[in-house]
Structure 1
Amino acid sequence: MRRFNFAAVLLVGLSAIGQPLLAAQRNYDRQMSVAAHELGAPQISSVQLQLNHTMATLTAAHELNTAAVRLIRTAATSFDNAHRMFKLCPDQNVCDVPYSFPEAAMAHMNTTQLENAQKPTKEAGGYTQDGETAGNTSSSSQEPGDLLFQFIAHHLDKSLEQRDRSDTTSWGTVLDAGTGMHSLAWLVAQQKKTAKLVAVTASPSQAEALQQQFKDKLRPQDEILTGDWADSTFLSNFQADVIAADYLIGAIDGFSPYFQDRIFSRLVQHLKPGGWLYVVGLEPFSNSEPTSKATELLQQVARVRDACILLAGHRCYREYPQEWVHRQLEQVKCRMDASERWPNVYSARQVERQIQVGRDKLPFFPDTQLADEMAKYLDQLSQETRKPCSNDQTHSFGFDYVVCAEHQPESSS
């Protein structure tokens, strides 16, 4: 983990934002030099000289105005990034900067999820400013979590009751295969039903943050581990009664690109016969058909957001369809018992947050001119979505899903 002094982060930001002002000043001096040269020409009238002075001044003012806009935009982004890095640090005198974008995105994502974990509702759809994918909107909640987690709890309780397992730790050992603040907060709240909880993340910085946050809430037998499911030796000989894969499929690209087709065969190695696997995911936007001008704009916002992420040299969150999950589970001898979906509802605030994700990526663009043009388009997109996605309106588009599957390794293929 790299450590940078907070002042150093700000210094780098100030150095970057000063360059446009210096360039504008040089242009101003060049224009004035030309005007001064023309002053010495006897054939130029006094009126023409005044016009030359005025044009040089206006040109310099325009350059300075453009530089000021860039300065404000870059300063805001630099401060925001520095603030978020500082916020993540257990040691308030330094900034912990993960080695890779996926680690940074996941760390930022789960800091945001921690803030939302106790809220009674959860907005739907796509990324937040920190790369988070938000789940389905819930109108009410008795505990941390949302409708999707409530559905999982109800399904698991009912299934175990049918097996005459209604003891206080009927859930047994639970594996949170792609843990975060959101899922871990929910599972910690279920401790009366579980014998042991093992939470896994591929991000060392995220594991550290979770350990710090839940240090007074975890039982001695509970564990938060750092590991990659692409590592065949990770968690060898460990088995669980229940596995929760909460948006794990979408996050895999950040740590083990293109491992999605092998994740379920990897997970069921740790699932006892008759155990339950719960897969939570977000249906890709490309699989949903817009039905109005507002939903067309929502899809366009998602496309432009992802384009900004890619142009910044970062990886997009890659979700897979519900039907794809069905096919994969069948191949690993898991019997699907239930598969439900919940429409995602978008407000004006949520749409603007998706656009802001694109803005946050502009400083990472390899070309300044490209970044400036994209900034203009993002502003235009923000204006276009303002009316159909006003604060008093919401629009349904796409859905989140939960697939419940029972592991039956002895069944015929």
Structure 2
Amino acid sequence: MSLFQRIADLQGDRPWGAMLDAGTGRNSMRWLLSLETERWTAVTGAASMARQVETELGTRTRDADRLVVGNWTDPDLLAGERYDTVLADYLLGAIEGFAPYWQDRLFERLHGLVAPGGRLYVVGLEPYVPQLPDTLDAAGSLVTRIGRLRDACLLLAGDRPYREYPAPWTLRQIERAGFRVLHAEQVPIRFGTRFVDGQLDMCTRVLERLDDRALAASLQTHVDALRMHAHMHIAEHGGLRHGHDYVIAAEPI
């Protein structure tokens, strides 16, 4: 079952009404377009992501639907607006790239956008990069090594990696922001080749920007070897079973 289907199950017969996708991407937009909403607003902090979402949208927008490029640290962004359903799909982890050290303010910021009686749905990822690969099974070691290599390449290229937060931290922040938590669950992850190639292709792209070409070449060799090992494990075991996503449903008090 997909995480979006889990949210739909939690929503039940409640109308989606006016919906805010607070950290939109192609996947969440594809799902949003399948719902019976009155209108929607989708926000991204990156113009490049907005272009990808526009490609996904095509001509499937109504007059009241909006795609907005903005930063949640801007108090004027959607000021005074209210939504019946607010989705924060992996938004917490992505905030680091646009508003570092502001994660503890995110749910306070979203609280004012949820209409009375409305719902907030949060999808997050339990942090896996800080884990020690040598203490994990083969799948966990591969996933963690991929994450560490990706983040190392991003930092060397001058970029900021995502910063994920565990579910207990997220639940505390949601409650402190004035929400009542209605449901929280963890969902096991099975990573496939799409994850492996997506993360390691990112390494290859940013390594092109390194001035130290010897270092870049050495890291690329590591990227290629890790990709091969991960693909072999997936072919033999059907995926990399490690870690958890989480889904949280909350309502304003």
- Same fold by TM-score, threshold 0.5 exceeded? yes
Unaligned runs of 5+ in 1: 1-137, 139-146, 161-169, 409-413
Distance 1:379 1:212 in 2: 31
Deviation digits for residues 322-377 of structure 1, max 9, x if unmatched? 11110101101111111112111123564354333322222112311211222233
* Larger fraction in helix: 1
Distance 1:405 1:208 in 2: 31
SS at match of 2:80: coil
Which of structures 1 and 2 has the larger relative contact order (alpha carbons within 8 angstroms, sep 6+)?
2
RMSD over aligned Cα atoms? 2.2
Deviation digits for residues 154-206 of structure 1, max 9, x if unmatched? 11125x3xxxxxxxxx2221111111111112111112xx2221111222343
Distance 1:204 1:228 in 2: 11
1:234 aligns with 2:77: yes
Deviation digits for residues 36-56 of structure 1, max 9, x if unmatched? xxxxxxxxxxxxxxxxxxxxx
Equivalent of 1:397 in 242, 248, 251: 242
The residue aligned with 2:120 is: 277
Tell whether the 8 Å contact from 1:348 to 1:391 is kept in structure 2 after alignment: no
Tell whether the 8 Å contact from 2:153 to 2:203 is kept in structure 1 after alignment: yes
- Distance of aligned partners of 1:303 and 1:407 in 2 relative to their CA distance in 1, 3 Å threshold: same
Matches within 5 A, 1:114-193: 138=1, 147-158=2-13, 160=14, 170-191=15-36
Equivalent of 1:357 in 202, 209, 215: 202
Matches within 5 A, 1:6-405: 138=1, 147-158=2-13, 160=14, 170-191=15-36, 194-211=37-54, 213-286=56-129, 291-347=136-192, 350-385=195-230, 387=232, 389-393=233-237, 394-405=239-250
Q: Which amino acid aligns with 1:377?
A: H
Deviation digits for residues 388-411 of structure 1, max 9, x if unmatched? x14131231011111111111xxx
Tell whether the 8 Å contact from 2:234 to 2:240 is kept in structure 1 after alignment: no
SS at match of 2:41: strand
* Larger fraction in strand: 2
Q: Which amino acid aligns with 1:229?
A: W
Equivalent of 2:251 in 368, 385, 406: 406
Q: Which amino acid aligns with 1:331?
A: R
- Distance of aligned partners of 1:345 and 1:213 in 2 relative to their CA distance in 1, 3 Å threshold: closer
Distance 2:231 2:29 in 1: 35
- Distance of aligned partners of 1:205 and 1:312 in 2 relative to their CA distance in 1, 3 Å threshold: closer
Q: How far off its partner does 1:293 sit? A: 2.7
SS at match of 1:392: helix
Tell whether the 8 Å contact from 1:340 to 1:403 is kept in structure 2 after alignment: yes
TM-score w.r.t. structure 2 length?
Answer: 0.89
SS at match of 2:27: helix
SS at match of 2:75: coil
Q: Which amino acid aligns with 1:281?
A: G
- Distance of aligned partners of 1:386 and 1:323 in 2 relative to their CA distance in 1, 3 Å threshold: same
Q: How far off its partner does 1:265 sit? A: 0.5
